[in-house]
Chain A
Amino acid sequence: MTWEIVVQAIISGLLMGLVYALIAAGLSLIFGLMEIVNFAHGEFMMISMFAAFWLWALFGLDPIYSVPLCAALLFFMGVATHYGIIRHILGASMLAQICATFGLAVFLRALAQFLWTPDFRSIADPMVAGRVDLAGVFLGLPQIVASVGCLIAFGFLYLFITRTETGLALQATAQDRDAAELMGIPTERMFALGWGIGAACVGVAGVFLSTFYYVFPEVGLPFALLAYVAVAMGGFGSILGSLVAGILIGLVESIGGLLIDPSYKLLIVFGLYLVIVVFRPKGLFGRY
Chain B
Amino acid sequence: MTDAHSNSATGNEVLASAMAEPLRAPASFKRKMFYITMGIALIAFPHVFDSPFPHHVMIIIFMYALMAQSWNILAGFCGQISLGHAAFFGIGAYSTGYLFFAYQISPWIGMLIGVVLSMLMAIAIGIPTFRLRGHYFAIATLLIGEGVQIVFQRWELVGAASGIFLPIVREQPLLSFQFHGTKLPYYYIILAFLALACVVVWRLDRSRIGFYFRAIRDEPEAASSLGVNVTLYKSFAFMISAGLMSMAGAFYCQYVLVIDPETVFPLSLSILVVLMAVMGGAGTLWGPIIGAAVLVPISELTRIYFGGTGGTLDLMIYGALIVLICIFKPEGLIGAVKMRHADALEEKCDSGDARG
Contact = CB atoms under 8 A, between A and B. Distances in A.
Interface in B116-145: 128-129, 131-136, 138-140, 142-144
A25 B326 CA distance: 26
Interface of B: 75, 81, 83, 128-129, 131-136, 138-140, 142-144, 146-147, 150-151, 154, 267-268, 271, 274-275, 278, 282, 309, 311-316, 318-323, 325-327, 330
A271 B129 CA distance: 12
* Main secondary structure on B side of the interface with A: helix
A110 B312 CA distance: 5
Contacts of B129: 274, 278
Contact of A274 (B133, B140, B326): B140
Contacts, number: 134
A92 B335 CA distance: 14
20 contacts: A37-B135, A85-B323, A96-B330, A97-B326, A98-B81, A98-B135, A99-B274, A99-B278, A102-B275, A106-B268, A106-B316, A110-B319, A111-B316, A264-B154, A266-B150, A270-B143, A273-B143, A274-B129, A274-B144, A278-B129
A102 B315 contact: no
Interface in A83-110: 85, 88-89, 92-100, 102-110
A159 B333 CA distance: 46
Contact of B146 (A107, A110, A225, A263): A225
Given A104-B323, A111-B316, A228-B143, A278 B128 contact: yes
A281 B323 contact: no
Contacts of A100: 322-323, 326-327
Interface of A: 31, 37, 85, 88-89, 92-100, 102-111, 113-114, 221, 225, 228-229, 232, 236, 263-264, 266-267, 270-271, 273-274, 277-278, 281
A232 to B, nearest CB: 6
B81 to A, nearest CB: 6
B133, B143, B147, B320 — most chain A CB neighbours (10 Å): B143
A264 B150 contact: yes
Contacts of B318: 103, 106-107, 110
